[in-house]
Chain A
Amino acid sequence: MNDQNNVLEFKDVRKIYRMGDEEINALDGVNLNIKNGSFTSIMGPSGSGKSTLLHVAGILDMPTQGTLLLNGKDTSTLSGKEQAKFRRSEIGFVFQRFNLLPQLSTLENVLLPMIKPDPDKAKELLDKMGLNKKYKKLPNQLSGGEQQRVSIARALINNPSLILADEPTGELDSKNAEVIMSILQDLNKNEGVTIIIVTHNPLAAEFTDETIEMRDGNIIG
Chain B
Amino acid sequence: MGINSLSFKNFRRRKLRSILTMLGVVIGVIALVVLVGITTGMTNYMKESTNNMMGDVTIMNSTGGGTIVAQPGSSFLSPETVDELKNMPQLYNIREELQFMTAFNQTTIYILGTSDWGQIDINGTHGVVINPAIEDMGYKIGDKITIKDQEFTVTGTFSEEAMGMGILVLDADKALPLNDNKTTSITANTRGDPEVIKDEIENNIDGITVSTKSDMTKQIEEMMGGLTLFIGGIASIALLVGVISIINIMLVNVTERTREIGVLKAIGFTSREVLVSILLESALIGFIGGLVGLIIAAIILQLVIILFGSQIGDIQLVQMLPLWLIAGVLGGATGLSILAGLYPAWRASRLNVVEALRNE
Q: Does B9 contact A (CB under 8 A)?
A: yes
Which residues from chain A contact B12 at a C-beta distance below 8 Å? 103
| B263 sits at the interface (CB 8 A) | yes
- Do B268 and A88 have beta carbons less than 8 Å apart? yes
Contact of A58 among B266, B270, B272 (CB under 8 A): B266
Name which of A68-76, A107-115, A199-207 contacts chain B.
Answer: A107-115
In the bound assembly, the distance between CA atoms of A88 and B266 in angstroms comes to 8
Q: Contacts of A93 on B, CB cut-off 8 Å?
A: 266-267
Q: Are A87 and B268 in contact (CB under 8 A)?
A: yes
Q: Are B268 and A85 touching (Cβ within 8 A)?
A: yes
Option from A86, A99, A103, A114 in Cβ contact (under 8 Å) with B263 = A99
Closest A residue, CB atoms, query B352? A61
**CB of A154 within 8 Å of the partner chain:** yes
Closest to B257 in A: A101
Contacts of A183 in B (CB 8 A): none
Min Cβ gap A95→B in Å is 7
A117 to B3, alpha carbons, bound, how many Å?
A: 11
B residues 1-28 with Cβ under 8 Å of A?
1-3, 6, 9-10, 12-13
A residues less than 8 Å from B269 (CB atoms)? 84, 88
Cβ of A221 within 8 Å of any chain B Cβ, yes or no, is: no
Answer whether residue A60 sits at the interface, using C-beta atoms and an 8 A cutoff: yes
Inter-subunit contact B353/A108 (CB<8 Å) = no
Q: Is A55 an interface residue (CB 8 A)?
A: yes
Question: Is A133 among interface residues, defined by CB-CB distance under 8 A?
Answer: no
Chain B residue nearest to A166 (CB atoms) is B357
Contacts A60-B353, A99-B259 known; A88 to B9 CB distance under 8 Å? no
User: Are the C-beta atoms of A114 and B266 separated by less than 8 Å?
Assistant: no
Any B CB within 8 A of the CB of A20? no
**In whole angstroms, what is the CA distance A114 to B12 when docked?**
23
B1 touches A114 (CB 8 A): yes
Option from B1, B10, B273 in Cβ contact (under 8 Å) with A111: B1
Chain B interface size range: 20 to 34
Residues of A within 8 A of B273 (CB): 84
Interface residues of B in 253-309 (CB under 8 A from A): 259-260, 263-273
A32 at the interface (CB under 8 A from B): no
A212 interfacial by beta-carbon distance below 8 Å: no
CB of B120 closer than 8 Å to a CB of A:
no
Report whether over half of chain B's contact residues are helix, strand or loop; otherwise say mixed. Answer: helix
- A82–B211 Cα distance when bound, in Å, is 69
Residue of B nearest to A60 (CB): B353
Of B3, B259, B268, B270, the residue contacting A89 (CB under 8 A) is: B268
| Given A80-B270, A85-B268, A87-B268: A103 and B353 interface contact (C-beta under 8 Å) | no
Residues B353 and A113 in contact, CB atoms below 8 Å apart:
no
Cβ–Cβ contact A154 & B266, under 8 A: no
Contacts of A84 in B (CB 8 A): 265, 268-271, 273
Give the one of A102, A108, A112 with max B CB within 10 A.
Answer: A112
A112 touches B267 (CB 8 A): yes
Smallest Cβ distance from A34 to chain B, in angstroms? 19
Interface residue A81 (Cβ < 8 Å from any Cβ of B) = yes
Residue in B closest to A88 when the chains form the complex, CB atoms: B268
Set of chain B residues within 8 Å of A113, measured between Cβ atoms: 267-268
Evaluate contact between B1 and A117: CB separation under 8 angstroms. yes
Known: A104-B1, A111-B1. A55 touches B354 (CB 8 A): yes
Contact between B267 and A87, CB atoms less than 8 A apart: yes
Tell me the bound Cα distance from A109 to B13 in angstroms: 15
Docked-complex contact B9 and A104, CB < 8 angstroms? yes
Question: A80 to B357, Cβ gap below 8 A?
Answer: no
Find out whether the CB atom of A99 lies under 8 angstroms from the CB atom of B268: no
Distance between Cα atoms of A85 and B265 in the complex (Å) = 10
Cβ of B353: which chain A residues have Cβ within 8 Å of it?
Answer: 55, 60-61
Known: A55-B354, A61-B353, A111-B1. A87 touches B266 (CB 8 A): yes
Which residues of chain B are within 8 angstroms of A55 by Cβ–Cβ distance? Answer: 353-354
29 A-B residue pairs with CB within 8 Å: A55-B353, A58-B266, A60-B353, A60-B357, A61-B353, A61-B354, A80-B271, A84-B265, A84-B270, A84-B271, A85-B268, A86-B268, A87-B268, A88-B267, A88-B269, A89-B268, A93-B266, A99-B259, A99-B260, A99-B263, A103-B9, A103-B10, A103-B13, A104-B1, A112-B1, A112-B3, A113-B268, A117-B2, A154-B267
Besides A87-B268, A103-B12, 11 other A-B contacts (C-beta < 8 A): A58-B266, A60-B353, A60-B354, A87-B267, A88-B267, A93-B267, A99-B357, A103-B9, A108-B1, A112-B3, A117-B1
Give me the 5 closest cross-chain CB pairs, A-B, nearest first: A88-B268, A111-B1, A84-B270, A103-B9, A87-B268
